[in-house]
Amino acid sequence: MNTGQYADQVTEFDEYVRTHHAVLLRSARRLVADPLDAQDLLQTALLRMYRRWEHISDKRLADAYVRRVMFNARTERWRARNLQEIPTEHLPDTPGEDPAEQLDDRALLLDVLKVLTPRQRAVVVLRYWEQMSTQETALALGTEIGTVKSTLHRALARLRKELAETGRTSP
């Protein structure tokens, strides 16, 4: 690769990072609890992706590639972590919020999502969990924007119905 092509690749990658950084950081935050660890995870993924940038022929798939690299890097860190217990004389204070309530809400959400068809579930997860636009969701699923909208409409109606039956509020 000559220096002109190399400079173009660097510029293209730099533009990609500048325009997608916030979305990718949100994805990293979903993988790890600590915000600083999420930034480290994203930087690790971007470094690995930069090394492979010229080999990614369809740059529209770059987000999926980065997310996969982040997931793999997080798994590598989890496997490599040191699981030693450190005895302490005093236990640290715990936060005031009840984590069991959050777990209950998450369990309810996961149960309610099971009533959706696989396509409906994919659309809901991409639009609301991954915070993709309608156009990005359509591109990711290989379908039309109108199909995403109508599928999302039916899925949300089904979720509202299921939540109403459980006595919870609607999405």
Percent of the chain with pLDDT over 90: 23
The CATH code belonging to domain 99-166 is: 1.10.10.10
Look at 70 and 6; give whichever has higher pLDDT: 70
The residue ranges of every structural domain in the chain are 3-80, 99-166
Q: pTM surpassing 0.75?
A: no
Write the CB contacts of 59 (distance below 8 Å, at least 6 apart in sequence).
Answer: 12, 16
Give the HSE-up count for residue 36: Cα atoms under 13 Å, Cβ half-sphere.
0
What is the CATH class of 3-80? mainly alpha
Alpha carbons 128 and 65: distance in angstroms, whole number:
20
How sure is the predictor about 170, in pLDDT bands with cuts at 50, 70 and 90? very low
Confidence of residue 55 (pLDDT cuts 50, 70, 90): confident
How far is residue 1's CA from residue 49's CA, in Å, rounded to a whole number? 18
Give mean pLDDT, residues 134-158.
92
Asked if residue 132 lies in contact with residue 126, where contact means CB atoms within 8 angstroms, the answer is yes
Tens-digit pLDDT profile for residues 11-44: 888 999 999 999 999 988 988 888 899 999 999 9
